[in-house]
Amino acid sequence: MSDVLSLIIAKYNYWLYVILMMIGLYGMIAKNNLIKKVVGMNIFQTAIILFYVSIGYKTNAGIPIITTADTAHGVVVKAADYINPLTSCLMLTAIVVSVATFGYAMALAVRIYQRYQTLEEDELRMRLSEE
């Protein structure tokens, strides 16, 4: 039991990301309201960002920016002193994508509401089958 527990504690970041991601996925599959689904989608994407950012973390390392003091004395830059800049860079892209998708999905929700006066999926299905 304590082995399993220590395994979880050593990698709790991955557990957190999976749990967050599953909350989002559940929202997207099971919720009936379109806005709730969109919010679920946003949580789902945020979980991936958490995953990537946690990959980049290193124990005892600082942010990936050289201060002027470092450069002035010509100190050799060591990789272990800075966290991984690549994952942060990749997630900048992923954040932008999720913001763009979220904004556009909201615009679609506005449009659907204008047309059908509802955002509940079962009501929408009923309206569509009536026509």
Partner 1 sequence: MRILAFIVVCLTGAFLLYGTSEFPDWGDPNSPASLHVAAYYIEKTYEETHAPNFVTAVVTDYRGFDTMFETAVIFTAGIGCFLLLRDFRGKKEHYYHHIPTGVILHIKDEKKSLTIGKEFGYMDKEWVPPDLINKTVCRILIPFIQIYALYVVAHGDYSPGGGFQGGVIFGSSLILLAISYDLKTLVKRVSERLLGIFAALGVLIYAGTGVLCLVMGGNFLDYGVLAPLFPGMADHIRALGMLVVEIGVGIAVMAVMTIIYINIVSEGRHDEGL
Partner 2 sequence: MENYPALIVVAPFVTGLLAGLFVWIEKRLSYPIVLAGLFISSFSAVQVLIRVMESGPIQYKMGGWSPPIGIEYRIDLLNAMVLCLVSGIAFLNLIASYRSAEKEIGDRVSSYYTVYNLFLTGLLGVTITGDLFNLYVLIEITSLTSYAQVAMGDRDRGPLASLNYIFIGVIGASFYLLGVGYLYMYTGSLNMADVAVLIKGSQGSSTVLVAFILCILGIWIKMALFPFHVWLPNAYTYSPVIFARVVAPLMTKVMVYIMLRLMITVFGYDYIFNTLNLSDAVVWLATIAVLAGGVMALAQKNLKKMLTYIIVSEIGYMVGGAWMGNQLGMTGAILHILNDALMTFALFLAVGNMVYRIDRVDITDLKGLFGKMPWTMAGFVLAAFSIVGVPPTCGFFSKWYLILGAMEKGAYHFAAALIISSLICAVLFFKVFEICFFESGSHGHDHSSHGPVAIEEAPVSMLIISGLVSLSLIVAGFYSGAIVNTIILPFLK
For position 20 contacting partner 2 by CB under 8 A, the verdict is: no
Binding mask 23-62 for partner 1 (x = CB under 8 A): --xx--xx-----------------------xxxxxxxx-
Rg (CA), the chain: 22
Binding mask 27-66 for partner 2 (x = CB under 8 A): -x-----x--x---x--xx--x--xx--x-----------
Distance from C-alpha of 83 to C-alpha of 62, rounded to nearest angstrom: 6
Distance from C-alpha of 79 to C-alpha of 126, rounded to nearest angstrom: 59
From the list 67, 68, 93, 129, which residue makes contact with partner 2 (rule: CB under 8 A)?
93
Distance from C-alpha of 46 to C-alpha of 28, rounded to nearest angstrom: 14
